[in-house]
Structure 1
Amino acid sequence: MKTLLTSMALLCCVHHAAASDLASAVNQSLPKLEALYLHLHQNPELSMQEKQTGARLAEELKALGFDVTERVGGYGVVGLMKNGDGPTVMIRADTDGLPIIEQTGKPYASKVRVKDANNNMVGVMHGCGHDIHMASFIGAAEQLVKNKNQWQGTLMMVAQPAEEVGAGAKAMLKEGLFSKFAKPDHVLGLHVSASLPAGKVAISPGYALANVDSVDITVKGQGGHGAYPHTTIDPIVLASRIVLGIQTITSREISPLKPSVITVGSIHGGSKHNIISNEVKLQLTLRSYDREVRDQQIAALRRLTKGVALSAGLTPDQAPVVHVHESESIPSTYNAPDLANAVTASIKNELGAENVVKAEPVMAGEDFGLYGRTDDNIPITIFWLGGVEPQAYANAQTHGISLPSLHSSKFAPDYPLALKTGVRAMTASALDLFNQK
């Protein structure tokens, strides 16, 4: 049996001839896709609130002829199109925005203000490029429908909510995404990059994104008057020792060959200059690729914090409380190497080898990885889609200028070029997967 990559290579000569046809077709559809992008950008919705976004994507898929189911795992949307016998290819896009007040200065900037889950008034912005993801998703669906004579199988379009809080993929899978609808043979996704010029694509075979865990630590103490510290056990001092001690978990306990990040993002304690408080609260983010490293990080945090407390004279029942937000935890994203290499070959053939580069793994997280971690062990691949205006990227490289990152209030992708590239890359990849031998 030929490998997936070998099968893809056999298609290159055929697909190359059609590449210019696909580029031309995408150019013709671009005005409509840009209008969709601008609508989505100006009407972002927070995680778990994507009602109108889901409805709009469902409307777009229905208009293309898909069998559409709404409100899957919240406001998720599943569109199915059966086109004869063949593999099932799933394409996924995430739909939620972020609680950010946009400061790009663009005439189409989001002006949305809503109340979040805590009843706070916040701005909302697609600061992570999900609007690009959705418009590219619809663009690829359109091209695949127009070219049904070039493929056979089942096309599965999944618009997933709540990626930013790590809940959407879990909810859709729990609701039977792979049992009630279809079990894909391949799962594809893309993500905009704020450090790659528009027109280019980057792919990382193997680990691409990290395990992500949010951890709260409550450090207990015995409070009192700031003038009499000897009568207290100061939790601020204990918390300070813990923060410093945490730095040795990665540097001295975990193999230097295995990536690990433990960041203390928040520390709160005390209420007044001369009062020693009873507790301090820490908030941490943990990142890794290997599941064993993730478990080692958490075990070390529990051991270290307890040891610091006991050394200060606290009793075991006064040990710090280490709480891992398991419901928010997401696993690392592992791009199946054969699939990643095949997708790389397809995109190189469509865009030109000079526009496809190998990406390094990053410590950001994405719940896309969950689609490859079911009992079905389905191969998945997500690739980076350049979003930076090429001249701005060149200037930044020349002059050492920092570009706005993802989740920045000033992140504004070069959406016409990014959309065109994303649609061509995703369409070409799907076509080749449908036609593998």
Structure 2
Amino acid sequence: MTAVSAVLAGLEDTRPWQEELYRDVHQHPELSHQETRTAGLAADRLRGAGFEVHERVGGTGVVGVLRNGDGATVLLRADMDALPVQEATGLPYASRVTTTDADGAEVPVMHACAHDAHVACLAGAAQLLADGREHWRGTLIALFQPAEETGDGARGMVEAGLSDLVPTPQVALAQHVAPAPAGQVRTHAGAALSAADSMRVTVHGRGAHGSMPQAAVDPVVLAAMIVVRLQTVVSREVPPGETAVLTVGSIQAGTKSNVIPDRATLQLNVRTFSDATRRTVLDAVERIVRAECQASGCPREPEFELFDRFPLTDNDVATTERVAAAFADFFGERSAPAGQQSASEDFSDIPTALGVPYTYWFVGGTDPEVYRAAEAAGRVAQDVPVNHSAGFAPVVQPTLDTGTQALVVGALAWLAA
């Protein structure tokens, strides 16, 4: 019997409470930096499994350390926060939670990005590895991270002294449920998830009556010109072999049809897969905005504010190959390549700060029959709900089993005695 099969033999006993934990966390979602209840559940599970537990790390973060003799140290991470989305899945355990967000607004809350599944999978993997500790040697770190959705949770744990609480790992591992057939695991070496930067741009015009446009510097027209010109950044300034996305998601200006306002605010999002392209695109945005403001004769310089910034997830090649090989041995044909994804994550802030290699993989969460039918009809984009949508609901099984198995198999690629 291998270490993997010995440790995973306990999955039959783990599965019932894992499923219960998943449904509980799904039904009681918490926004970024508010994950108090979820963190308490994770901490209780780790303590019950014999971990040394640290709570309130960087706010609501939880870290468990299980020392099991000489050997490698492996860090496994799960995120915990939910989103301000009104759930429309129709599930019996659907969220009906509302809460006050950071801006003081009352908002619905939903686990629309499977962080509830991530919590349940890591809790289960931690329990299985604790129960099967006679089959491996080393140290296991189980980290439950807050505020992934706002891009500052990982950084918050680092700044709160994470490196002083845990031994330095040899590797850090994380995963995410994706809209792929449940039961699959997918890996990708190199740049796997894009860096992301959101920017708020305020341009200043001069207000006037709608009947007297000659007295105004119209920020609405200015904003429109900026949006049009920004469409050339990716097509004309980014090399064809590079990937970048630039989206203007919001324009706010004015209050009445016959009043020319004195300012407009644009919010845009940039996603890139290299530091050079990231800088190229952000510099181009600022250059274009300033030039259009000058062309319009604005009375004041524009203002730029960067927020919700996510690092590039650049999977270490050797680490990814080691995990992929372990997955191939265990999952067989259910292990496949992932390809680059334009979503973003802040997980890499943790291994980067600790100075260790990492890899981040994907676990399918869509009912395989639903996915195959959508694929056959050429309607995957229309019929398979994606992360952050009100209808996103991973099937409980085999999603939880697969995610739990993947964490155990990945960790034992370093910890097996």
* Coarse TM-score class (shorter-chain normalised): over 0.9
How far the C-alpha of 1:371 sits from its partner, in A, is: 2.1
Residue 314 of structure 1: how far off its partner (Å) = 2.9
**What SS does the corresponding residue of 1:65 show, helix, strand or coil?**
coil
Provide the rounded CA distance (Å) in 2 between the counterparts of 1:416 and 1:28.
Answer: 15
Shift of 1:22: 5.1
**Worse overlay, 396-405 or 354-363:** 396-405
Report the equivalent of 2:329.
349
Is 1:372 the counterpart of 2:351? The answer is yes
Question: What runs of 5+ residues in structure 1 fail to find an aligned partner?
Answer: 1-13
What is the rounded CA distance, in whole Å, between the counterparts of 2:237 and 2:278 in structure 1? 12
Question: Is the contact made by 1:150 and 1:431 (CA closer than 8 Å) also made in structure 2?
Answer: no
Letter in 2 for 1:384: F
2:205 aligned with 1:214: no
Once residues 210 and 188 of structure 2 are traced to their aligned partners in structure 1, the CA distance between those partners, rounded to angstroms, is 54
Question: How many Å apart are 1:28 and its aligned residue?
Answer: 3.2
Instruction: Provide the C-alpha distance between the structure 1 equivalents of 2:54 and 2:37, rounded to a whole number of angstroms.
Output: 15
Partner residue, 1:90: 75
Misfit runs of 4+, over 6 Å: none
CA deviation after TM superposition for structure 1 residue 193, in Å: 0.4
Matched, 1:430 2:411: yes
TM-score using structure 2 length: 0.96
Contact 1:264–1:283 under 8 Å retained in 2: yes
- Give secondary structure in 2 for the equivalent of 1:329: strand
Distance in 2 (alpha carbons) for counterparts of 1:229 and 1:166: 42
The aligned amino acid for 2:330 is E
- 1:323 equivalenced with 2:323 (yes/no): no
Pair 1:107 & 2:67 matched: no
Tell me how far apart the structure 2 counterparts of residues 410 and 290 of structure 1 sit (CA, whole Å): 32
**Alignment of structure 1 residues 290-329 onto 2, 5 Å:** 290-314=274-298, 318-325=300-307, 328-329=308-309
Asked whether the equivalents of residues 7 and 129 of structure 2 are also in contact (C-alpha less than 8 Å), the reply is no
Q: Which amino acid aligns with 2:334?
A: N
Aligned length: 414
Q: Could you say which residue in structure 2 is the equivalent of 1:390?
A: 368
* Residue number among 126, 131, 152 corresponding to 1:146 in the alignment: 131
CA distance in structure 2 between the partners assigned to 1:412 and 1:336 by the alignment: 30
Alignment pair present for 1:25 and 2:7: no
Deviation per CA, 1:259-318, whole angstroms, max 9, x where unpaired?
111100000111111111111110011111111221222211111111111112235xx1
Distance in 1 separating the partners of 2:62 and 2:350: 15
Query: 1:410 aligns to what?
Result: 391
Unaligned runs of 5+ in 2: none
- Any conservation in 1 of the 2:31–2:84 contact (CA below 8 Å)? yes
Contact preservation (8 Å) 2:46, 2:123: yes
Please point out which of 334, 338, 342 is paired with 2:314: 334
Taking the aligned partners of 1:261 and 1:294, their CA distance within structure 2 comes to 10
Contact 2:101-2:107 within 8 A present in 1 as well: yes
Kept after mapping to 1: 8 A contact 2:65/2:141: yes
Amino acid in the other structure paired with 1:302? E
- Superposed, which structure 2 residues align to 1:8-157 within 5 Å? 15=2, 21=6, 24-157=9-142
2:4–2:408 Cα contact (<8 Å) kept: no
Displacement of 1:233 in angstroms is 1.5
Looking at structure 1, the residues matched to 163 and 374 of structure 2 have their Cα atoms a distance apart, in angstroms, of 43
CA distance in 2, matches of 1:432, 1:329: 32
Q: Verify: 1:169 aligned to 2:150, yes or no.
A: no
Instruction: Work out whether 1:250 is the aligned partner of 2:231.
Output: no
Checking the alignment, whether the CA contact within 8 Å between 2:6 and 2:135 is kept in structure 1 is no
Equivalent residues of 2:57, 2:63 under 8 A apart: yes
Q: How far off its partner does 1:192 sit? A: 0.3
Moved more, 72-81 or 137-146: 137-146
Of all paired residues, the percent bearing the same amino acid is: 39
- 1:288 matched residue in structure 2: 272
Please list the CA deviations of residues 60-104 of structure 1 after superposition, one character each: whole Å capped at 9, or x if unmatched: 000000000110000100100111111110000001111111110
Residue 209 of structure 2 is aligned to residue 225 of structure 1: yes
Superposed CA deviations along residues 145-191 of structure 1, whole A, max 9, x for unmatched, are 12211211110010000111111100101112123322111001110
Q: Paired residue for 1:3?
A: none
